[in-house]
């Protein structure tokens, strides 16, 4: 122990210390011992506090799991809307029941069966092997892009890479979706969505949830690159951004940082690439409860959480920060920030604001991009942003970060 130091006199072959020097050294030694003892006590108290917090979290997890299993899941249709369930949902779904809850929350409006998945997966394998010169380029391009993106999905886990146990499973699921929805095809970012589902569900249920999830209005608009609908969502986000964080909004305007440059990746991957996995899972929990509104509320919660940091950054550093958010992000702190966001603008709620912008977009009120995005910020900025994002993600320079279909429309 650092408090067990022994104060020694000088060796006998050296002159003795003067009394005043010896007194000074003794006092210094006592201060050192006192400081060391104080530090040890502080560290011990911190360890006890951490253990107590861990114990409380484990106990809360056990209690939450018991509530989900015994009270909520058996009477899902009525219990899901109760205040107690809503509060429990906000705190995060226990991992042991997360897959079950996600499956129920997503639903199956498309009436997809596991048999249909097997048919699509089989057809995907047949198309890949088929000797058809008319499909050769499309088939090879699609397979190459899926394989490339799958190998980059959650690299820290090491299970979706070519040597990992889930590489073929994820590849098969994405290929089956291309067969099921050739009008959408494969778009970069889909691999993260499918992987998140595979981490919590078996492959057939993951495919059913994946297809239904991508059939939701916001996801379908983005994955089909429906520019008018995408513009409506961007402009809606700008409205809530300006309302909740006016100072940061002005800072982004000053640096010509438009929402399409960072929000698009968050929406395509539902934050699974930008946030730590445990935090992203909790965002998914509430997204499946509240719908697309929570995607934009989460974005504003992130902005609010890091507002003081973002206000100090220039364009390039903003690009790097927003592309890869801090790994030490705490989900409780983030959700406190999200909870402080108010989703009303001029007494209009999310649905009303979205409806207004959809009408304006359909009538052609906007240009190719919304008014804020149409500022003359120049090609140099866009090039700088793309370069910064690629350097953070470790992507080769020729890869396009924006989504692209790989099958004929």
Give residue-wise pLDDT tens across range 177-218: 999 999 898 998 899 999 999 999 999 999 999 999 999 999
Residue 365 predicted with pLDDT over 70: no
HSE on the CB side for 178, CA within 13 Å? 31
Mean per-residue pLDDT over the chain, rounded: 84
| Per-residue DSSP letter, 396 | -
Task: Identify the band that residue 404 occupies on the pLDDT scale cut at 50, 70 and 90.
Answer: very low
CA dist 176 → 133, 170, 179, 341 (Å): 21, 10, 5, 39
Q: What is the pLDDT of residue 73?
A: 95
User: Does the pLDDT of residue 264 top 80, yes or no?
Assistant: yes
Res 2 pLDDT > 90: no
Top-confidence residue, 168 or 12: 168
pLDDT at 347 over 70: yes
> How far is residue 307's CA from residue 329's CA, in Å, rounded to a whole number?
14
User: Confidence class of residue 362 from pLDDT cuts 50, 70 and 90?
Assistant: confident
Residue 4: its pLDDT value, please? 54
pLDDT at 46 > cutoff 50: yes
| Residue 208 CB-density burial (10 A; 0-12 exposed, 13-18 middle, 19+ buried) | buried
Q: Which residue has the tokens 């239904």?
A: 212
The whole-number pLDDT of residue 136 equals: 46
Q: Other CB atoms closer than 10 Å to residue 49's CB: what's the count?
A: 10
Residue from 3, 1, 48 nearest 29 by CA: 3
Provide the pLDDT confidence category of residue 401 given band limits of 50, 70 and 90: very low
Two structure tokens written together for 18? 């003067």
Residue range 76-80: mean pLDDT, rounded: 94
Residues 6+ apart with CB under 8 A from 323: 262, 265, 274, 388, 389, 392, 393
Looking at residue 20, its pLDDT comes to 82
Residue with token string 């779904």: 93
DSSP E strands, 234-376: 344-345, 348-349
The predicted model gives 152-158 an average pLDDT of 92
Reported as a pLDDT band with limits 50, 70 and 90, residue 405 is very low
Q: How many percent of the chain have pLDDT more than 70?
A: 83
Q: Residue 170's closest CA among 157, 144, 145, 151? A: 151
**Residue in the structure block whose two tokens are 């927003």:** 322
Virtual torsion, Cα 369, 372, 375, 381, nearest 10 deg: -80
pLDDT tens digit string along 283-337? 999 999 999 999 999 999 999 999 999 999 998 999 889 988 999 999 999 999 9
The pLDDT confidence band at residue 148, using thresholds 50, 70 and 90, is confident
Phi-psi map region of 83: left, alpha, beta (phi>0 left; psi -120 to 50 alpha)? alpha
pLDDT band at 22 (very low <50, low <70, confident <90, very high): confident
Lowest mean pLDDT among 44-58, 164-178, 298-312, 371-385: 371-385
**pLDDT number for residue 102:** 98
Distance, in Å, from the CA atom of 223 to the CA atom of 407, rounded to the nearest integer, reads 13
Residue 345 has pLDDT above 60, yes or no: yes
* Of 236, 245, 247, 224, nearest in space to 350 by CA: 236
pLDDT at position 393: 42
Cβ neighbours of residue 166 under 8 Å, at least 6 residues apart? 159, 160, 195, 198
Which of 116-130, 133-147, 149-163, 203-217 holds the top average pLDDT?
203-217
For Cα atoms 194, 167, 272, give the angle at the middle one, nearest 5 degrees: 35
Q: How many residues does the chain have?
A: 409
Say what the pLDDT of residue 6 is: 55
Query: What is the average per-residue pLDDT within 3-23?
Result: 71
- Distance separating alpha carbons of residues 52 and 54, to the nearest angstrom: 5
12 has pLDDT over 90: no
User: In the chain, count of helices (H) and strands (E)?
Assistant: 20, 2
pLDDT at 364 over 90: no
What is this structure's pTM? Answer: 0.79
In angstroms, how far is CA 102 from the centroid of its own chain? 16
Q: Is the pLDDT of residue 379 over 80?
A: no
């Amino acid at each position: 122990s650092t408090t067990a130091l022994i104060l020694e006199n000088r060796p006998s072959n050296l002159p003795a210390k003067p009394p005043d020097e010896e007194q000074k050294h003794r006092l210094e030694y006592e201060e050192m011992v006192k400081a060391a003892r104080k530090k040890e006590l502080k560290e011990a108290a911190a360890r006890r506090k951490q253990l107590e917090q861990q114990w409380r979290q484990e106990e809360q997890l056990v209690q939450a799991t018991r509530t989900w299993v015994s009270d909520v899941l058996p009477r899902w249709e009525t219990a899901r809307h109760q205040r107690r369930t809503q509060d429990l949902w906000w705190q995060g779904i226990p991992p042991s029941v997360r897959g079950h809850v996600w499956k129920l929350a997503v639903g199956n409006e498309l009436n997809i069966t596991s048999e249909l998945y097997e048919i699509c997966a089989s057809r995907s394998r047949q198309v890949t092997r088929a000797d058809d010169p008319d499909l050769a380029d499309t088939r090879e391009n699609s397979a190459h892009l899926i394989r490339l993106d799958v190998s980059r999905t959650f690299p820290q886990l090491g299970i979706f890479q070519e040597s990992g146990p889930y590489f073929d499973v994820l590849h098969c699921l994405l290929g089956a979706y291309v067969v099921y929805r050739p009008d959408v095809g494969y778009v970069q970012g889909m691999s993260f969505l499918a992987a998140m589902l595979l981490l919590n569900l078996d492959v057939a249920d993951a495919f059913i949830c994946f297809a239904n999830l991508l059939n939701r209005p916001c996801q379908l608009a983005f994955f089909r690159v429906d520019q008018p609908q995408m513009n409506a969502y961007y402009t809606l986000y700008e409205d809530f951004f300006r309302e909740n964080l006016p100072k940061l909004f002005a800072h982004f305007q000053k640096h010509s940082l438009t929402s399409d440059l960072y929000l698009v990746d968050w929406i395509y991957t539902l934050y699974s690439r930008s946030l730590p996995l445990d935090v992203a899972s909790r965002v998914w929990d509430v997204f499946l409860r509240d719908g697309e509104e929570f995607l934009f509320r989460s974005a504003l919660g992130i902005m609010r959480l890091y507002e003081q940091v973002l206000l100090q950054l220039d364009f390039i550093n903003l690009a790097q920060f927003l592309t890869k958010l801090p790994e030490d992000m705490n989900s409780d702190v983030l959700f406190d920030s999200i909870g402080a966001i108010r989703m009303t603008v001029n007494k209009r709620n999310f649905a009303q604001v979205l409806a207004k912008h959809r009408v304006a977009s359909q009538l052609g009120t906007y240009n190719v991009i919304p008014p804020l995005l149409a500022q003359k910020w120049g090609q140099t900025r866009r090039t700088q942003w793309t370069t910064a994002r690629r350097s953070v993600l470790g992507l080769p320079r020729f890869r396009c970060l924006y989504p692209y279909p790989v099958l004929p429309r």
